[in-house]
Chains A and B, each alone.
Chain A
Amino acid sequence: MIAARRALRRRGLLRGSPRAETPGLRRGAPCLLHARGATESEGRGENGGRFGGKDPGARSAYVHLPFCKRKCFYCDFPVVALGSEATGTEAEPPIFESYVNLLEREVGRYASDAARGSSGGKKLDTVFFGGGTPSLIPPRQLERVLRRLDDTFGIEWEGAEISMECDPGTFDRRRLRDYIDLGVNRISMGVQSFDDRLLELCGRSHTLREVYQAIDDLHAASPASWSIDLMFGLPHQSLRAWEKTLDEAVAAEPSHVSCYDLQVEEATPFARWYEVGMAPLPDEDTSAEFFKMASRRLGSEGYSHYEISNYAREGHECRHNMAYWRNSPFYAFGLGSTSNLHGRRVQRPRKYKDYEAWVEDHDRRYLELEQRGSGGEAEEQVVLDRLLDEVMLSLRLKDGLRVAGLDETFGGCGIADVEARIMDAVTVHIEKKLVLLSEDGKSIRLSDPEGQLVSNSIISDIFCKF
């Protein structure tokens, strides 16, 4: 079997799609070109139309694999809990097969695109398997999805980033190697904490022992890139516990670390049990201290704080996530996932049954969407949304937002004085050193950590000007 997979990968490598490609849009191209240009170059298919078709600018695909052993207490993702027996080594639950069938169908909707007269898109540069716990999926099933993606869009095997989320306790060294053989070259491991008590309090299905085991396995399998996901601001978490978790994470020598601030989401057990800012959750000051401690510690270990929640060694930034933050278009497949194609975000249903029906009805839904879209949705609103997305996302990044040039980009689309309005909003924050001006004076970014800590306040101040 492994050989077959290797063959698949080779075939992928060899195949190198002969399809004609429309030149992709350069990043930072005038706002409307992204939304409008695609339309013009693509034309409209008789069924899916442009919204249901490929986006020539999209080079990333997200695939949601919703299965988990159990749902963590803080989680509000679309998740299908299988019960704790469903480890990777047991017999395969039949739902994997049927879900992957669905995924194949959904991806396949784009396949006949060329036949419908679309000029198609570029090959995928990043693929991300998120969850859920993707590492519960047997390699055989993952292979099916990758193959379908490759058949449909083409995967730029040479250099593509193929990420996969894995949780401790759901994989072993062998399985990891299988995934890597299929082309996976980046593993994002959901550790969350190096503290057994906290893992239990969060409802995680793994133990600290399994975390260490997983780290050993990763070192052995040695993917090109791997990340440890951590959470701070957990109930009963002390600064000392967080310090220890950071120490252990650094000691494991991952190429990438994500540090997520716990967000208490509605309708989760955490929302029922805890109140934000009240014990046992940390108060605001402690919570800020968690963030600062991570920034300090990981910074001093040579990890670059390249996004509010993300740290990486040079060259190990997650390219897939960068596509999100750079507001680039991307495909998405699977339960509850959101795609961003043709300047439009579309979320799939979060419930399994609804998602099934959605895939069934894919073409019609997109057609509807398109008709609604062309039915006079205020063009200016679309453009404004795009601008605000750009502001919001760019300011999460270390490089910040390039303000110079926004007038040119958005001015023609009916939004005047973009640069002046943004600068007006941040003047007070620049004074207080929460926002920093780049040396050439053309970009702004949030200071690390003070500005990043109050990013919502600063970004909504900018929103106020529009």
Chain B
Amino acid sequence: MAVFARLAPRCACPGAREGIGGLWRSFVSSASGLCARHYSAFEGGDTAAAQPPVETDVANLISTIPPSRIRNFSIVAHIDHGKSTLADRILEHTGALKEALDKASSQYLDKLKVEKERGITVKAQTASIVHHVGGLPYLLNLVDTPGHVDFTYEVSRSLSACEGCLLLVDATQGIQAQTVSNCLLALEENLEIISVVNKIDMPAANPEEVTKQIEDVFGLGGEGDAALRVSAKTGQGVPELLDAVVHRIAPPETDREERPFKALIFDAHHDQFRGVVCLCRVIDGKISRGDKIASCGTKTELEVLELGLMCPEPTRTDKLEGGQIGYLVTGMKKTADIRIGDTLHKADQPVEALAGFKPIKSMCFGGIFPSSTDEYESLKKAIEKLTLNDSSVVVHRESSQALGPGFRCGFLGLLHMEVFLQRLEEEFAQSVIATKPFVPLKVIDGEMREKEILSPGDWDEVDWGRSTRVMEPIVLATIVCPNEFTGKVIQLCHDHRGHQVDHSALGSQRVMLRYNLPLPELAGDFYDSLKGCTSGYATLEYEDAGHQDADLVKLDIRVNGETVDSLSQVVPRVNSYKTGKSVVSKMKNLLDRQVFEVALQAVIGNKIIARETISAMRKNVLAKCYGGDVSRKKKLLAKQKEGKKRLKRLGSVSVPVDVFPALLK
């Protein structure tokens, strides 16, 4: 399993690499049993959660602000460039938060443990705040966006709820891969972009250079819209920033009176007391408690049970109107019933759907198994709970000969899968074994019939003909790194079947490379290798770029002649021998010797391409065993027994559970 998780690389710091090994270790050591608090603002407190939010002065004030004094905006940035800190400062400055945040509780909007740990935002949050300019109150809706690559679609929906965005760049780091991709998304949505250079209080800050980069790369800046300079940490420049939001970003175009109610759902989460809570941007018209609504996508009629504003705590109001951003509760039980990007309307007043809606599509699949079969039920419950809040995960049952009963889950991407696994472990204390992510492939036969392959097991069901084509998804990857690593990065991309699309300088120190890469290549150790060969300095971001023909083969692993299903993989033909060899030799190193000889073979079709033999264990310790030794000896054997009880079977061979992560990597 690999990943992109560490797309949250803590940027320039080479020491910040957190290998997948680390993640697995944390899986095994689990235990914290951290409760699943903070799915949403609603679930924050224990008793508070049960109580409905109440109207406040702020909410009352907001309801009086006309659309011309509303500004909807979001912040886009590379990881750790200070987005969450800036959001905290903005909330403080506008008085939305009563007290300044201390370090421990900082980053108000990043609520999940995994978000704080990795510095990424998994679930977007939103806040409505009031800022006074020229004595007039303005309503600023800050729409937070998920901060990682797999949620590009959600990011684009969040951005489409805004008229403008802040492009935040770290003055010590300059433009990074994610800055580029997010900025491109914002440009696609035709947003007004305010570039902001952050961390100007740092000794290493170089705002001039970074400002120039922004001009060079994005063509932003110049008279009247020069990059703002702030320090999110100290709050320096934040008031000016808010003024700029008011002055430079257009108010929403809306018609509250004449046009029917129409709203964009840009986020939804599950609340244990209310069911599904949707965050939406009201485009036109208004909606009140008790109204009947429906969505263009599902047509299901629903009653609005509660609505309100995020101030930033959910605050109940009587109505939501054009230009506003708020939440709706309709009594839906599962987030799967709601589709991000869908358009809401009154049940009796259908409207034309907003553009840009896309159904969810799994970009990678992974098998998830309990590390001990008697934990199946608790894993099932945990997955059910977690998917309540993340409807983008597709879950099927699966049973593996080696790993027993488990699940096959589809994810939006590799990081999404990794974050999901981490949350299973941290929030639900599940100890799981996950297979290597599998990127779905398309197989097209002679009659142009398309079949999707979702796991290596599906490969066997393909009726191969002369003209059968296999297509694999590719991505356009953006890599930013210091000049001196360019050669290594190019070599790495080449080794991973990449094709260069762009190679340009980012100022004098750094370079931006863009490559078309097969997505399956990223499911391996690509990211680790990239970080490794650039001393941790490279940043990576990627986006969908369709499919391309691929010459792939299925590689099976046999243990004493038996094929082990969970170890099968589909690999490029050119690398198949190398991969086969490395898999069996890795297995040889990982597996303990058995009391009999074990033959490991890598097989393509019926052809054995690599083999290793683990010789039989020759001898245990044959200690003497007299009166006083009996208890000690038995303890030793009992310990071995505990180890063995946690064994899984690979064919005829017993293997401790903890070798699986490495084996399946």
Q: A460-B637, A463-B640 are in contact. Are A338 and B631 (CB under 8 A)?
A: yes
Query: Which stretch from B437-445, B545-553, B619-627 is at the chain A interface?
Result: B619-627
Q: Is the CB of B628 within 8 A of A434?
A: no
- The answer to whether B625 and A389 touch across the interface, beta carbons within 8 angstroms, is no
B624 touches A309 (CB 8 A): yes
Query: What is the minimal beta-carbon distance from A84 to any residue of chain B, in angstroms?
Result: 26
Measured between alpha carbons, how far is A428 from B630 in the docked complex, in Å? 26
Q: Within 8 Å CB of B638, what residues of A?
A: 388, 463
How long is the Cα–Cα vector from A67 to B410 in the complex, in angstroms?
A: 69
Enumerate B587-637 residues with CB–CB distance to A below 8 Å: 595-596, 617-628, 630-631, 633-634, 636-637
Which stretch in A93-101, A103-111, A243-251, A282-290 binds the other chain? A282-290
Residue of B nearest to A346 (CB): B631
| B644 A291 Cβ-Cβ under 8 A | no
Bound form: Cα–Cα A388–B624 in Å: 17
B interface footprint on A362-395 (CB within 8 Å = 1, 0 otherwise): 0000000000000000000000010011001100
**Which residues of chain A from 443 to 466 have any CB-CB distance to chain B below 8 Å in the complex?**
452-461, 463-464
A263-B630 in contact (CB<8A): no
At the interface, yes or no: A438 with Cβ under 8 Å from chain B?
no
State whether B623 touches A392 (Cβ < 8 A).
no
Quick check: A338 and B595 within 8 Å, CB to CB? no
Q: Roughly how many angstroms separate A387 CA and B474 CA in the complex, as a whole number? A: 61
Given that A337-B628, A429-B595 are known contacts, is A288 also in contact with B644, CB under 8 Å in the complex? no
- Across-interface contacts of A388 in B (CB, < 8 A): 634, 637-638
Complexed CA–CA distance, A363 and B91 (Å) = 73
A454 to B637, CA, bound (A): 12
Do B630 and A457 have beta carbons less than 8 Å apart?
A: no
Kindly state whether residue A218 has any CB partner on chain B within 8 Å.
no
CA distance A393 to B629 in the complex (A): 11
Contacts of B623 in A (CB 8 A): 260-261, 263
- Distance of A260 Cα from B626 Cα, bound (Å): 12
Cα distance, A309 to B638, chains bound together (Å): 21
Q: Known contacts A454-B595, A460-B644, A463-B637: does B625 contact A324 (CB below 8 Å)?
A: yes
Contacts of B644 in A (CB 8 A): 460-461, 463-464
Known A324-B627, A392-B633; contact A460-B618, beta-carbon cutoff 8 A: no
Q: Is the CB of A458 within 8 A of B595?
A: yes
The residue from A261, A337, A396 contacting B627, defined by CB atoms under 8 A apart: A337
**Which residues of chain A come closer than 8 Å to B645, judged between CB atoms?**
464
Residues of B within 8 Å of A385, CB to CB, are 634
**What is the CB-to-nearest-CB distance from B230 to chain A, in angstroms, rounded to a whole number?**
58
Closest to B594 in A: A457
**Is A212 part of the contact surface with B, judged by Cβ < 8 Å?**
no
> From residue A332, how far is it (CB to closest CB) to chain B in Å?
6
9 closest A-B pairs by CB: A456-B620, A338-B628, A460-B640, A288-B618, A463-B641, A288-B619, A261-B622, A453-B619, A263-B623
Which residues of A pack against B, CB within 8 Å? Answer: 62, 130, 258, 260-261, 263, 284-285, 287-288, 291, 308-309, 321, 324-325, 330, 332, 336-340, 345, 347, 385, 388-389, 392-393, 396, 428-429, 432, 434, 452-461, 463-464
Interface of B toward A, CB cutoff 8 Å: 595-596, 617-628, 630-631, 633-634, 636-638, 640-641, 644-645, 652
Seed contacts A62-B627, A347-B628; 10 additional CB < 8 Å A-B pairs: A260-B623, A287-B618, A288-B619, A291-B619, A309-B622, A321-B626, A337-B628, A392-B625, A459-B637, A464-B641
A sample of 13 inter-chain contacts (CB < 8 A) reads: A261-B622, A263-B621, A309-B624, A321-B626, A338-B627, A338-B628, A389-B634, A452-B622, A453-B620, A458-B595, A463-B637, A463-B640, A463-B644
